[in-house]
Amino acid sequence: MRRLAEACERIAGTTKKLEKIAIVADYLKSRAPEEAPVSAVFLGGRPFPAWEETTLQVGGSLLWKVVAELSGKSDQELTAVYRRHGDLGAVAAEVLPERRAGDELSVVEVQNCFHQIATARGPAAKSALVRELLSQASSLEAKYIVKIITGDLRIGLKESLVEEAIAKAYGGTLAEVQRANMLLGDIGDTLRFAAEGKLGQARMRLFHPLGFMLASPAESAEEALSYFENAVVEDKYDGIRAQAHVSDGEVRIFSRTRDEITESFPELPDALAGLPDDVILDGEIVAWSYLAGETGRALPFSALQQRLGRKKVSDEMMRRVPVAYVVFDVLYANGELLIDRPLRARAQLLDGLLAAERKLVEPRSREAQGQLRFEPREATTAKVIRSPLFVAASPENLDRLFEAAQERGNEGLMIKDPESVYTPGRRGKSWLKLKRELATLDVVVTAVEYGHGKRIGVLSDYTFAVLDGERLVNIGKAYSGLTDAEIAEMGKWFLEHTVEDQGFRLIVEPKIVIEVAFNNMMRSDRHESGYALRFPRIVRIRTDKLPEEADTIERVREIYEGQSSN
């Protein structure tokens, strides 16, 4: 662990990408075969490989308490140190006493402790194990143990650079390493394959989620059609992104954060289990009115919201808010990974797969009839629906499709390049999204304040930030547009994840992403970003997004410049 921490210090000490890669490559090569894979996982900022569902469930406040106890510092003293560093790992390095003499701690031992912490139940048991681990570490080791627990090393190293370092250290091209890592979902295993010269033998792990391909925003129909020919167009459904893995009748569904969400949608596995083949599908789960017209239609996101975050879903809830899985892509079928095939070919395969599924449609349920909203003609009860495809050759075509999509209750359009391959985890210009509210930003909550008037004593005012490189810079503050129940629930989370209590204001762990709408944007030095928003309002909590996926300062500049030239 000492060597890893020292390497991290050197990585933090240079801004040059190539130097960082070289340091990682040298370090990994210098490690014993059983240590290098674990080190690669840690360098990616994770306690466990990506595909493992294990989580530590150790929040900032628990760590804070342990560091306070071990150092004997008061809250005030710790807060003063935290202000200087803005990072709990750096605080630990400064205040923790040096290790008592004894054996060195290896990365494998640290990961074993992480496993124990993950399986321990309750904060007291977890605290005891974290305390034990930190007291065996030197202050420099503790710095990086704390950072790994919080899931962010903050040394300007992403997993993509670790991939480059593996290619450099063990041979193999970067593309081969990236592909193996994507298939295995484990940078440590990827390193093992590379070290043994077997990158080509890495195989897909079904039931371990792949990254999701992401879309870039287009500001207008003209722009949306400017990047490629023969655009394929789909409605943009306002639900939650979901990747379904199906094999031998077993079904698992994963969210965009790669968490398993199968339990939240008990009606979907049965519908998917009937597929003729082992598959991985990509689509959107939406609240669905089955009796609207021939094919049914999507209901607003607010309807779906009642179903989210529940472990147990009652029959009553399933009847009240029925859902459908609208599928728009297939990533694996016939024993073959399809992501390198063009969308055109994937779409055709998907048509075939879901046509077979449609034959398994159940008869219309009695309960559903009670929810009649529209004149029913052969209403569908298929819970897995192939998203309809359109083509658009001109901006006028696209505008008409946009209006039709909105009339169907959808958010806007997705415009896709039929020749494009599926790029997991990347946002490119092969998929573009055209939305109604152009001016919304996905931002990260950095601080919360107690409200006034009716919301006195309630954490209802959120300060939020956009990404500037790896840093977060505040851009605004909004009174929550959330419901009282949501505010109360979020308030609880924030209290548990406070890193600094300033009395009326809590600095919180930057983990929660919210979508904010606003009327326009101004230059202002009120916030660190140099911009401020006019009439910001919170549209919703983006539980499906990680803080790294928030909008960037570049996008803020684009919006600002776009509005001033109009």
* Cβ-based nearer residue to ligand AMP, 234 or 509: 234
| Pairing verdict, β 336-337 and 323-333 | antiparallel
E-strand spans in 451-550? 459-468, 471-479, 498-501, 505-508, 513-517, 520-523, 531-534, 537-541
Residue type at 429 in one-letter notation: K
CB of 239 to ligand AMP, least distance (A): 7
Q: What is the DSSP string of 344-411?
A: HHHHHHHHHHHHHHHTTPPPPPHHHHTT--S--SS----SEEEPP-EEESSHHHHHHHHHHHHHTT--
CB of 427 to ligand AMP, least distance (A): 8
Q: Find the residue with minimal CB distance to ligand AMP.
A: 241
Q: Has 511 been annotated as catalytic?
A: no
Distance CA 80, CA 92 (A): 13
Give the phi and the psi of residue 367 in degrees, each rounded to 5.
-55, -45
Does residue 368 contact residue 296 with C-beta atoms inside 8 Å?
A: no
Distance CA 334, CA 469 (A): 41
User: How many separate helices (H) and strands (E) can be counted in the chain?
Assistant: 21, 21
* Cβ-based nearer residue to ligand AMP, 139 or 423: 423
Distance CA 32, CA 109 (A): 14
Does residue 498 contact residue 506 with C-beta atoms inside 8 Å?
A: yes
Cα 535 to the chain's mean position, in Å? Answer: 27
Q: What is the DSSP string of 92-114?
A: HHHHSPPPPSSPPPPHHHHHHHH
CB of 435 to ligand AMP, least distance (A): 7
| DSSP 8-state symbol, 280 | E
Distance CA 427, CA 442 (A): 15
CB of 259 to ligand AMP, least distance (A): 14
CB of 512 to ligand AMP, least distance (A): 16
HSE toward the beta carbon, residue 24, CA cutoff 13 A: 32
* Cβ-based nearer residue to ligand AMP, 73 or 545: 545
* Cβ-based nearer residue to ligand AMP, 301 or 450: 301
CB of 216 to ligand AMP, least distance (A): 9
Question: For residue 135, what is the enclosing H or E element?
Answer: helix 123-135
* Cβ-based nearer residue to ligand AMP, 42 or 328: 328
CB of 215 to ligand AMP, least distance (A): 5
* Cβ-based nearer residue to ligand AMP, 411 or 461: 411
> Which residues are at the interface with ligand AMP (CB under 6 A)?
215, 234, 236-237, 241, 284, 328, 387, 414, 433
CB of 253 to ligand AMP, least distance (A): 13
Cα 38 to the chain's mean position, in Å? Answer: 23
Angle at CA of residue 406, ends 404 and 408, nearest 5°? 70
* Cβ-based nearer residue to ligand AMP, 236 or 252: 236
* Cβ-based nearer residue to ligand AMP, 150 or 387: 387
Residue 352, both tokens = 């075939």
Q: Name the catalytic one among 20, 147, 168, 236.
A: 236
CB of 452 to ligand AMP, least distance (A): 32
* Cβ-based nearer residue to ligand AMP, 444 or 499: 444
Does residue 288 contact residue 322 with C-beta atoms inside 8 Å?
A: yes
Query: Would you tell me the crossing angle of helices 36-43 and 187-195 to the nearest 10 degrees?
Result: 140
Angle at CA of residue 253, ends 250 and 258, nearest 5°? 130
Residues noted as catalytic: 236
